[in-house]
Copies of this chain bind each other. A is one copy, B any other.
Amino acid sequence: MYRSHKCGDLRIENVGIEVTLAGWVQRTRNMGGMTFVDLRDRYGITQLSFNSEKNADLCEKARKLGREFVIQVKGIVIERESKNDKMPTGAIEIEVNYLKILNASETPPFTIEDSTDGGEEIRMKYRYLDLRRNPLRKNLELRHQLGIETRKFMDGLGFLEIETPYLIKSTPEGARDFVVPSRMNQGEFYALPQSPQTFKQILMVGGYDRYFQIVRCFRDEDLRADRQPEFTQIDCEMAFVEQEDILQTFEALVRHLFLSVKGIDLPEFVRMTYAEAMENYGSDKPDLRFGMEFNDLTKLVKGKGFPVFDAAETVLGICATGAASYTRKQLDALTDFVRKPQIGAQGLIYCRVNEDGSLKSSVDKFFDETALKAWAHQMNAQPGDLLLILAGNTDKVRKQMSELRLEMGNQLELRDSKIYRPMWVVDFPLLEWDEESKRYYAMHHPFTSPKMDQIAWLDSDPGKVNANAYDMVINGVELGGGSIRIHDQGLQAKMFEILGFSKEEAEKQFGFLMGAFKYGAPPHGGIAFGFDRLAAMFGGTDSIRDYIAFPKNNAGRDLMIDSPSSIHQDQLTELALKLSEA
């Protein structure tokens, strides 16, 4: 062993003992005849002291240590003269009598501090240096702990972690697959799984009852800031259950994680239908840390001669508590906000409810004080509040208002990152109509079970059918989602038909699943959680990249190993592949 203790171990009780430490030089300071070195490892920092009067050579050697040198020292634990009560080891230091340089270091291209001066690109290239910084270390420790606690909880409930294959079969439904050419079966390809969906259903048919897996998944999509081509899921499935069993089980999992990892006892999970969520928050993942629900003003304001309202399918308002004091400039900024192309509103109507009870709107020309009072009354506005109103097509105005609501939540500091408001959104529609391709798509996936009492509508009005599908949402972030599955081969065949699969396509891609359903498939359902996102939520930040040891950039590249890269011609030849001309 290169060390008797770690750099976070030693305390005042250890004064007098001889220790051996190893780690990285965080910094060196010279003060008169003394040289101090902060020695760092994963567990903390310990101060080393070198006295030039006692040992000039050793002190000289210490002075020459560069940042990030790896050293081993022996010495005696002594009490510090000036203690640092911000450090767990701040009461002691090591009076060093032996120093060995285990490895030198060039000067790092950015500082290894909690706040670094390195840009994102250089930090990804030198990821091994970025990983030395406390914030990243804490993130990976948190992620580890979440994994341990998840497995502990699931194991305790009798769930088996069963590994499913990574080399599977390409299916065009859903996102784009990464494919893997087969050398032994030339011209054929494996695909990397977008999720172990069909395998976990097969496990239920196989009688495994309670399955989970923390598993890598792959999607070849154009990347956004918060997407990675490979990501990790907590993937779960249960047999002989109804929706309520799943909700209870996984509410308990997430409750356990918050309690064991963060010491937070989550409040009760709100249950809300998809329809309610869309109506009141314009989103299937509402942030419930604050109210500001939508108020439908359509009936109240239409037909009063204001063309914008009169032409609108829907007029929605929100009441921003205490925001009547917003200046003209602030209101203009809000208008600019809703007019941004990614939000797309035409304009914003506001009405201040002044402290004296008077009302002042941006549409005073069309609505007198009495009319405005009726708005304020319906929206339950109090003096000092600000009413914000958008009008237009129902779906669009909901989405716009949802963005505005979140923006107001931010501005009014109603989205406290230390508060967690969990909920289930249930009763999702089974199908989504796509205007462009003139066909239905599965809102969740093609294996999701419709509500059994709405099954007749599958023929008459498929778009009206709801699914036994549910999402877990916390603070406006979708942490997980799932559904009760179809376990009847006839119903599954019908679903494929509605989704536009020919019999041959359905058979080619999912024949094994339909086949499995012939041999006693139990009722089953499940859920999957985004593990990267879960870690980010527990860490209190948005960027999932900071919770992945070796993430890829937006072009899908690993800048550290410089991948993807060209391969040898003989590798291509063995795979019977040629590159197309550019």
**Chain B residue nearest to A215 in the complex (CB):** B216
Contact of A565 among B188, B552, B556 (CB under 8 A): B188
Task: Evaluate whether A240 and B22 lie within 8 angstroms (CB atoms) in the complex, with A520-B70, A579-B187 already known.
Answer: yes
Does A565 lie within 8 Å of B189, measured CB to CB? yes
Complex alpha-carbon distance, A127 and B513, angstroms: 11
Task: Evaluate whether A549 and B163 lie within 8 angstroms (CB atoms) in the complex, with A205-B128, A512-B561, A519-B105 already known.
Answer: yes
**Chain B residue nearest to A229 in the complex (CB):** B167
Chain A 549-582 interface residues, beta-carbon cutoff 8 Å to B:
549-550, 552, 555-558, 560-568, 571, 573-580, 582
Complex alpha-carbon distance, A141 and B155, angstroms: 11
Does B555 lie within 8 Å of A185, measured CB to CB? yes
Chain A 56-92 interface residues, beta-carbon cutoff 8 Å to B:
68-70
Instruction: Output the least CB separation between A318 and chain B (Å).
Output: 40
Contacts of A42 in B (CB 8 A): 207-209
Task: Evaluate whether A571 and B70 lie within 8 angstroms (CB atoms) in the complex, with A164-B549, A580-B578 already known.
Answer: no
Does A242 lie within 8 Å of B1, measured CB to CB? yes
Contact of A487 among B43, B103, B186 (CB under 8 A): B103
Does B166 lie within 8 Å of A230, measured CB to CB? yes
Complex alpha-carbon distance, A238 and B172, angstroms: 43
Complex alpha-carbon distance, A517 and B128, angstroms: 10
Contact of A203 among B131, B512, B580 (CB under 8 A): B131
A483 within 8 A of B: no
Does B565 lie within 8 Å of A169, measured CB to CB? yes
Contacts of A54 in B (CB 8 A): none
Q: Which 4 A-B pairs have the closest CB atoms?
A: A131-B206, A105-B520, A188-B564, A169-B563
Complex alpha-carbon distance, A168 and B564, angstroms: 7
Contacts of A240 in B (CB 8 A): 1-3, 22
Contacts of A182 in B (CB 8 A): 556, 564
A279 within 8 A of B: no
Complex alpha-carbon distance, A572 and B489, angstroms: 32
- Interface SS majority for chain A: loop
Does B519 lie within 8 Å of A129, measured CB to CB? yes
A90-118: CB near B (< 8 Å → 1, else 0) gives: 00000000000011111010000000000
Does A564 lie within 8 Å of B189, measured CB to CB? yes
Interface centre among A108, A131, A548 (most CB of B within 10 A): A131
Contacts of A203 in B (CB 8 A): 128, 131, 549
A130-142: CB near B (< 8 Å → 1, else 0) gives: 1110000100110
Task: Evaluate whether A564 and B68 lie within 8 angstroms (CB atoms) in the complex, with A42-B207, A102-B522 already known.
Answer: no
Segment of A144-152, A266-274, A305-313, A399-407 in the binding face: A144-152
Contact of A575 among B43, B164, B179, B566 (CB under 8 A): B179
Does A520 lie within 8 Å of B169, measured CB to CB? no
Contacts of A70 in B (CB 8 A): 520-522
A165 within 8 A of B: yes
Complex alpha-carbon distance, A180 and B160, angstroms: 30
Instruction: Output the least CB separation between A538 and chain B (Å).
Output: 15
Copies in the complex: 2
Does A560 lie within 8 Å of B512, measured CB to CB? yes
Task: Evaluate whether A520 and B69 lie within 8 angstroms (CB atoms) in the complex, with A103-B488, A580-B577 already known.
Answer: yes
Contact of A129 among B129, B170, B206, B209 (CB under 8 A): B206
**Chain B residue nearest to A556 in the complex (CB):** B184
Does B166 lie within 8 Å of A567, measured CB to CB? no
A404-435: CB near B (< 8 Å → 1, else 0) gives: 00000000000000000000000000000000
Does B558 lie within 8 Å of A128, measured CB to CB? no
Complex alpha-carbon distance, A398 and B68, angstroms: 50
A276 within 8 A of B: no
Chain A 23-75 interface residues, beta-carbon cutoff 8 Å to B:
24, 40-43, 68-70
Range of interface residues on A (Cβ < 8 Å): 35 or more
A222 within 8 A of B: yes
Does B577 lie within 8 Å of A188, measured CB to CB? no
Contacts of A189 in B (CB 8 A): 564-567
A291 within 8 A of B: no
A192 within 8 A of B: yes
Complex alpha-carbon distance, A248 and B574, angstroms: 43
A162 within 8 A of B: yes
Complex alpha-carbon distance, A129 and B1, angstroms: 51
Complex alpha-carbon distance, A349 and B515, angstroms: 58
Contacts of A178 in B (CB 8 A): 167, 180, 190
**Chain B residue nearest to A182 in the complex (CB):** B564
Contacts of A573 in B (CB 8 A): 580
A499 within 8 A of B: no
* Chain A to chain B contacts (Cβ below 8 Å), 21 pairs: A108-B519, A128-B203, A137-B207, A137-B208, A140-B162, A144-B160, A144-B161, A148-B161, A163-B232, A163-B548, A167-B564, A170-B567, A178-B190, A179-B571, A179-B575, A180-B180, A187-B582, A198-B561, A573-B580, A577-B578, A577-B579
Contacts of A69 in B (CB 8 A): 520
Complex alpha-carbon distance, A524 and B75, angstroms: 23
Contacts of A2 in B (CB 8 A): 240-242, 523
A199 within 8 A of B: yes
Contact of A562 among B169, B177, B517 (CB under 8 A): B169
